[in-house]
Copies of this chain bind each other. A is one copy, B any other.
Amino acid sequence: MSEREMTRTEALMSVVRTKIATRVLVPGDRLPSVRSFAETLGVSPSTVVEAYDRLSAEGVIRARRGSGFYVTSTNLPPMALAEMGTPRERAVDPLWVSRQSLDAAPSVLKPGCGWLPADWMPHEALRRAFRALARADDTVLSDYGSPRGSLTLRRLLLGRFAEEGIDAKPDQLMLTGSGTQAIDLICRLLLRPGDTVLVDDPCYFNFQALLRAHQVRIVGVAYTATGPDIAAFEEAVTTEKPRLYITNSALHNPTGASLSPQTAHRMLKIASAHDVTIVEDDIFADFEPTLSPRLAVLDGLNFVIRIGSFSKTLSASVRCGYIAGRADWIEALLDLQVATSFGGSSPVATYVISHVLAGGSYRKHMEETRQRLTRARNVAVDRLGMLGIVPWIIPRGGFYLWCRLPEGHDSSVLARRCMDEDVVLAPGNVFSISQSAASFLRINVAQLGDERSLEALERAMKTPL
């Protein structure tokens, strides 16, 4: 369609919009026929059709099959929808940070959120991938994905695993809709309501939200700078008889700590002796300067299930995760994925991810991202130090800092105060089963660039309780 026609179409659309706004046309009224309206306005019928179609797509008018176009009875101002955010007064529970950050307006600052700012992501590579996608086979654009998911992407993952020393067979791997969905499917397969599941204390708040949805008992194990407290872990495994333990071994969320070889070895010994399955969530792997110990590597996918995704490093809009584990479990998980999602991971998503990874620029992008994060982390440590906020440890990578507040401050109170200033924080207790982290905050160093975050935090700390 030519520029000129486009302008005419839009002019015609606004004519109709005005008639509706001024109630010349009211809901239920039939619009002029294409032919007559085209004559009246001296435009081509195709222009009228295009305008009517676009207005229908907007929901302003509606085509009744075979009987022309009618004004719809919807008069929603866009804001009515735009304002459908998360109620700010909702309890500061494990879903609080997710809902506040996911629903945040563009103007809201999110040092509490769990992802990198959009301008840190590999957009040029993504745009190249979408241009290539526009030329891809029809089946990629419109067919359901196979239950296991893209062959190319599975090959790539098996290659990475092999290099780490995990000799996974093709039938031990499947792609999923996301990393979260991967854990959800595993819970559906292995858990029944009332079962017990171990998590770290503190742990990623969404593990708690997810496990609550499965109606299981959640038991926390104190977390140290080298992984879970082994004595506490053994105690919990022995007395609580958990079915599952869910953890991040590398760049643990929220602490940023990584497992030591000794802790990893002892944990596996204990878990295998008591037949506890371990879900190792490996989404932060590419943020490590060098790979730290992994339970999946030591164990070789017997007691350990590895899951991961590309949401933190490549795109959270083009989502895809994976599960690597025992072949019989993967086969059962494929059935579960079909039953609960139908089809596997989106071919469009896996095409884009494979294209970016195969393009070669990804490795360089991640090297730059790691350096950029190191700089941001150093700045954050200094700036937070000025407020008396001290990191529990300095992580070797990633974007999290688990920080202790000065005496007498409650991070949930600060989070509420900052929310009123459009700054989303991640208060310690949303990560803590024992609710023992009131004096901690998880800070995303990549999201701390805007001065207003620290200013809001400083003001919140100055306000007396």
Which A residues have a C-beta under 8 Å from some C-beta of B?
27, 49-50, 53-54, 56-60, 62-66, 70, 72-74, 76, 78, 80-82, 84, 86, 95, 98-99, 102-103, 106, 115, 118-119, 121, 123, 126-128, 130-131, 133-135, 138-148, 151, 154-163, 165, 167, 170-171, 177-181, 184, 188, 192-193, 206, 209-210, 212-213, 289-290, 311, 314-319, 334-336, 338-344, 346-349, 354, 357-364, 367
Contacts and interface: CB of A to CB of B under 8 A. Distances in A.
B206 A342 contact: yes
A145 B315 CA distance: 11
Contacts of A347: 317
Nearest to A62: B163
B76 A170 contact: yes
Contacts of A367: 65
A270 B462 CA distance: 60
Contacts of A317: 140-145, 346-348
Contacts of A188: 213
Contacts of A179: 342
Nearest to A131: B134
A127 B134 contact: yes
Contacts of A206: 338-339, 342
A59 B123 CA distance: 23
B290 A65 contact: yes
Nearest to A71: B163
Nearest to A81: B170
Chain B CB count within 10 A is highest, among A106, A135, A139, A319, for A319
Contacts of A103: 146-148
Contacts of A314: 142
A336 B290 CA distance: 36
Nearest to A361: B53
Contact of A159 (B62, B118, B139, B357): B62
Contact of A160 (B59, B78, B141, B171): B59
Given A74-B159, A99-B335, A212-B339, 16 more contacts: A53-B361, A53-B364, A56-B363, A57-B360, A62-B163, A70-B163, A86-B147, A102-B344, A123-B141, A144-B311, A178-B342, A181-B340, A192-B193, A206-B342, A213-B336, A319-B343
A102 B54 contact: no
A162 to B, nearest CB: 4
A119 B138 contact: yes
A123 B139 CA distance: 10
Contact of A76 (B158, B178, B213): B158
A141 B162 contact: no
Contacts of A59: 155-160, 162-163
A54 to B, nearest CB: 5
A25 to B, nearest CB: 14
B155 A81 contact: yes
A171 B85 CA distance: 10
Contact of A80 (B74, B157, B170): B170
A406 to B, nearest CB: 32
A189 to B, nearest CB: 9
A449 to B, nearest CB: 15
A343 B316 contact: yes
